[in-house]
Amino acid sequence: MTLPLLEAHDLQLQFGSIRALDHVSMALWPGEVLAIVGESGSGKTTLLKVLSGSDKPDAGQVLYRDPELALHDVHAMGAPQLRALHRSDWGFVQQNPRDALRMGVSAGGNVGERLMAQGDRNYGNIRQVALDWLAQVEIDGRRIDDLPRTFSGGMLQRLQIARTLATHPRLVFMDEPTGGLDVSVQAKLLDLIRSLVSRLGLAVILVTHDIAVARLLAGRILVMRRGQVVETGLTDQVLDDPQHPYTQLLVSSVLQA
């Protein structure tokens, strides 16, 4: 029987009088793409930060199952252990790739740094892996020594994806990966993400405000409002036949746009 890769139980987090997370539970299975959707302030980004260990909840638990099927309490880990997890089994794709990339280091160097963090010290191997990953994200290999600041927004996001996936993580957190990009660039990037996720069998937790992005990439969806999960289920079922009034409002606003 397949066991969940990541589980959250009864997460609670309050900022002053605001309930950012209100008794949130969820599970993610290996190879699954789960979209967390909702308007600004719904709690979706806060949930992503708590699930990835960046923020600590006031109550509740996040459990990660390693390749040997042992369970680990994410928020009971020490900082070095959590950093090691983010360098190996986990990856994170941020909305603004400049926050994740070293802008003064070459494109190949950005990919290579993540490999070196895992202990690879063979320069020839690192450069070849970097070239392979640049090709996989459709960046011309002749640009391996170029600095990221010479890249377009879409290329920067593709470089961040190459850097993140080079160490073959099992789980990738994505925070609005197409936000701020032109529509045509978004479409190409989404096709690339969908192809990579399918081919590599990645598990992904995707935060997005865009229902169309969730429909394209995710097999299952979790709808948040005011820190609560108001609806969850298979993406097509939830979006084609929404049960909660808030989900109905989200879907209708997309149809009317």
In a domain, 76, yes or no: yes
Per-residue pLDDT tens over the stretch 26-46: 999 999 999 999 999 999 999
Same domain for 73 and 182? Answer: yes
- 254 has a pLDDT exceeding 70: no
The pLDDT assigned to 257 comes to: 45
Q: Which of 223, 238, 152 is nearest to 189 (CA)?
A: 152
Same domain for 175 and 81? Answer: yes
Domain endpoint, select from 153, 168, 183: 168
Same domain for 208 and 226? Answer: yes
Same domain for 127 and 238? Answer: no
In a domain, 160, yes or no: yes
Task: Give the contacts of 106 (CB within 8 A, at least 6 positions apart).
Answer: 144, 145, 146, 147
Task: Supply the pTM of this predicted model.
Answer: 0.94
Per-residue pLDDT tens over the stretch 239-251: 999 999 999 999 9
* Average per-residue pLDDT for the chain: 93
The pLDDT assigned to 119 comes to: 80
Q: Which of 116, 162, 106 is nearest to 138 (CA)?
A: 162
Domain that holds residue 118: 101-168
Same domain for 125 and 192? Answer: no
More confident residue, 73 or 115: 73
Q: What would the mean pLDDT of 169-182 be, rounded to a whole number?
A: 91
> Could you tell me how many residues make up the chain?
257
Same domain for 107 and 145? Answer: yes
**Contact, 181 vs 153, CB < 8 A?**
yes
Domain endpoint, select from 109, 143, 168: 168
Same domain for 241 and 121? Answer: no
Same domain for 147 and 188? Answer: no
Domain count along the chain: 2
At residue 196, what are phi and psi to the nearest 5 degrees? -65, -45
Per-residue pLDDT tens over the stretch 69-89: 999 999 999 999 999 999 889
As a whole-number percent, the residues of the chain with pLDDT over 70 amount to 98
Same domain for 109 and 44? Answer: no
Give the residue carrying structure tokens 């539970």: 25
